[in-house]
Amino acid sequence: MMNGDATVSLQGVSRWFGEEAVLREVDLTVEPGTVSALLGRNGSGKSTLIRIVAGTLARHAGHARVLGRDPELLGVAERLRLVWITDQAGENPRRRVSQELDLIAGLRRGRFDRTCADKLLARWEVDLSKRFGELSRGLQTRFRLATALAARPSSCSSTSRPWASTCSPAEICSR
């Protein structure tokens, strides 16, 4: 039975690429306001699952609901309520971290809490004056997680090394 109150609810989701089953009958529930991490080996289907949840890749079997709707039918406003991070994103390695932060804040407009992002980045010791490419992979992941949480999502998922927490994004930023 699908959980209608969940931000993400998957039941029996499967996906193949050619003859290869990448996802087999995956069940997953992500409750509103939670931070979740999706961990697994390379090639285990993490990115495929995230793309299905985001509605950018069709599932071949099973049922999926994201924000109460089929993820393939989500509109722009609904997609802005979801955030996920990966170990690689589109940041410009030559741009300063502060410039990347300004860019993200501008793209997310009313759904971005700059104070929260600044607080998390300071707590996690991410130097805003450095160029993004000068940051270690760990610091880059901290940056991505801070900006994801500051985007005030309904749900936040990570397919990288998360700074795990079971509290909501609002609680993390208010500490």
Q: Which amino acid is at 71?
A: P
Q: How do residues 106-116 score in pLDDT, each as one tens digit?
A: 887 777 888 88
pTM for this model (two decimals): 0.61
Name the helix (H) or strand (E) containing 148: helix 137-150
Q: What is the mean pLDDT of the chain?
A: 82
What is the residue extent of each domain of the chain? 8-82, 97-174
Residue carrying the six token digits 């090394």: 161
Tell me the mean pLDDT in the region 107-127.
88
Backbone angles phi, psi at 96, to 5 degrees: -65, 150
- Which whole number is the average pLDDT over 43-51? 89
SS percent in the chain: helix, strand, coil, step 5:
35, 25, 40
pLDDT exceeds 50 at position 166: no
CB 4 within 8 A of CB 124: no
Gap between the Cα atoms of 13 and 121, Å rounded = 36
pLDDT at 167 exceeding the cut of 50: no
Quick one: DSSP state of residue 154?
Answer: S
CA distance 87 to 74: 25
CATH code: domain 8-82 is: 3.40.50.300
Residue that the structure tokens 């998390």 belong to? 120
